[in-house]
Amino acid sequence: MDIFLQQIINGLVQGSIYALVALGYTMVYGIMGLINFAHGEVVMIGTLVTITVAGTLIKAGMPVALAAMAGISASVLVCIALGWGLERIAYRPLRNAPRLAPLITAIGMSIILQHLAMIVWGRNYLTFPPLFPKVHFELAGAHFTAVQVMIVLVSAITMGGLILLVYRTKLGMAMRATAQNPQVASLMGVNINRVIAAAFVIGSALGAVAGSWSVPITKSPITRWVSCSA
């Protein structure tokens, strides 16, 4: 029973991270119908930015908690800029092109981001700095840490905020209208370009949060894949 409960906890933690990645991915697909193959690379870059910024600040003497928050904040900002740039430069000019053109472009952007990450961070494994204190708890024989609790709570709050955004704000209403029928939404005064850009920005921010939280719990398979992909 303790093993079963331990796997439940592990599944909740990993599932919370995967859910944030999937939400960012499906926001773009739901609104544009575009399979954004570069979204995984956005998550990867979020992880790498968090490691780099937090590790540098810790070495400079900043308290670990502040360095971790600075790393996550920098990751979100970088991924927001990256998501906006992808939409503005790569996808918007092809919005009315045949379906195959943006699909190939998404694959191309994925490859470009992979190689860009290898140029900036190299191919070697990265050492994860100790971003959070290791506080352990036990429940019916199952063990979990304070970091795992924070991951589940932050993911739940983030997903709850996204639900409120989609169903309780004008931007969310515009997103739902655009997803249903972009042409009619445009005739009703919805700025399609702004809505789609917002979807990319929000999706990239969610990916950054997911990538940042993958740092303290495991040696990320995303980073390992980047290090060995060449």
pLDDT tens, residue by residue, 175-189: 999 999 988 999 888
Instruction: Look over the chain and give the mean of its residue pLDDT values, rounded to a whole number.
Output: 84
Residue type at 87? E
pLDDT tens, residue by residue, 36-64: 889 999 999 998 998 889 888 988 888 88
Evaluate the CA torsion angle 169, 74, 203, 97 in order and state its sign: positive
Where does residue 196 rank: exposed (0-12), middle (13-18), buried (19+ CB within 10 A)?
A: buried
Decide: 23 and 184 in contact? Cβ < 8 Å: no
pLDDT tens, residue by residue, 119-150: 998 887 776 666 666 777 777 777 778 788 88
Mean pLDDT value across residues 182-207: 91
Decide: 114 and 46 in contact? Cβ < 8 Å: no
Say what the pTM is. Answer: 0.83
Rounded to whole angstroms, how far apart are CA atoms 187 and 191?
A: 9
Q: How far is CA 126 from the centre of its chain?
A: 19
